[in-house]
Amino acid sequence: MAAAPEILSAPEGATEFPAALAAARQAAEDCIRDALGDLRDPVAEAMRYATEGGKGLRGFLALESARLHGFSAQAALPAAAAIECLHAYSLVHDDLPCMDDDDLRRGRPTVHRRWDEATAVLAGDALQTLAFELVARCACPAQARLHLVSELARAAGVRGMVGGQAMDIAAETADEPLTLAEITVLQDGKTGALIRWAATVGPRMGDADARPLEAYAAALGLAFQIADDVLDVEGSAETVGKATRKDAAAGKATFVSLLGLEPAKRRAADLIDEACAALAPYGAEADCLRQAARFVIARDR
């Protein structure tokens, strides 16, 4: 077990989730900016652009799970920045014409629209490699760092996010729409895998039992995707920051199309209850994570 540095209160003194999320988001963006240094070529500029303006939820989960296991924000910050890099890379590539072909992300032109497709591909590639460079800097024992790197590779790859994305693309031209069970498996990879990795940074760093946070993250990730499906129906591009109603226009099966709007909302709420219940071993120390879970289905973007 790693020696426990000073225990941080969520992160740097913030005890309520909105403040903790904002602090984590800014810290991750600063860490990425520092890692890129004074590079000013188009790819580096596109990398900075792609990592700005997000919710920062994955980075927050990494820092908060580390805090629960006795690690400071400074020790875990490379992991928070790494997961934000990987998430940003996935969005840059997902927005490309060969994938979802989106023009808007986080309320701004997508990277391939702001620059060009080649720059977007390279920026995404470089964000992915930067993620592994960053996570290798976590202040924990070498074996724990190796575990973090190997689990991140698995979560990001064909058994995780990439595999889920491939299933999503295949579903667009399939003869039959996906079933509820198939969509659940798809989203567990596409969305859930990186969320699970982020939420288990703390126990991985400290060689502790990761099962409570794995259960929390599994429920949270699925609720997050259901909320995204709801926002695609009820949200506007101005609020959400990207095109909406694309799924229905494409005839794509989603949690909302299969369950119905209100049942989908109830399912998301039930999943958040499950996520919060999974945090019982941490007691009141995990209240910020409970607030994060409720935010997932209350957000407007």
Q: Is residue 4 over pLDDT 50?
A: no
Query: For residues 1 and 176, which has the higher predicted lDDT (pLDDT)?
Result: 176
Domain tally, the chain: 1
pLDDT value of residue 172: 86
Q: Is residue 235 over pLDDT 90?
A: no
Domain contains 11: no
Domain contains 5: no
pLDDT band, very low/low/confident/very high, at 6 (cuts 50, 70, 90) = very low
Domain contains 2: no
Domain contains 176: yes
Angle at 211 between CA 208 and CA 216, to 5 degrees: 120
Smallest CA-to-CA distance from 138 within 48, 58, 206, 84 is with: 206
C-alpha torsion angle, residues 75, 80, 83, 85 (rounded to 10): -110
Q: Average the pLDDT over 158-181 and give the result.
A: 93
Instruction: For residues 199 and 215, give the distance between their C-alpha atoms in angstroms, rounded to a whole number.
Output: 10
pLDDT band, very low/low/confident/very high, at 10 (cuts 50, 70, 90) = very low
Instruction: For 53-138, list the strands marked E by DSSP.
Output: 104-105, 108-109
Q: Average the pLDDT over 238-247 and give the result.
A: 76
Instruction: For residues 94 and 272, give the distance between their C-alpha atoms in angstroms, rounded to a whole number.
Output: 27
Task: Give the mean pLDDT of the chain.
Answer: 92
Domain contains 12: no
pLDDT band, very low/low/confident/very high, at 249 (cuts 50, 70, 90) = low
- How many Cβ atoms from other residues are within 10 Å of residue 179's Cβ? 11
* Residue 186: burial class (beta carbons within 10 Å; 0-12, 13-18, 19+): buried
Query: For residues 299 and 150, which has the higher predicted lDDT (pLDDT)?
Result: 150
pLDDT digits (tens, 9 = 90+) for 262-283: 999 999 999 999 999 999 999 9
Domain contains 7: no
Helix, strand, or coil (residue 242): coil
pLDDT digits (tens, 9 = 90+) for 95-132: 999 999 999 999 999 999 999 999 999 999 999 999 99
Which CATH number goes with the domain that contains 282? Answer: 1.10.600.10
pLDDT value of residue 3: 35
Instruction: For residues 148 and 223, give the distance between their C-alpha atoms in angstroms, rounded to a whole number.
Output: 25
pLDDT value of residue 15: 57
pTM of the prediction? 0.92
Domain contains 1: no
Domain contains 140: yes
Percent of the chain with pLDDT over 70: 94
Domain residues for the domain of 84 are 17-298
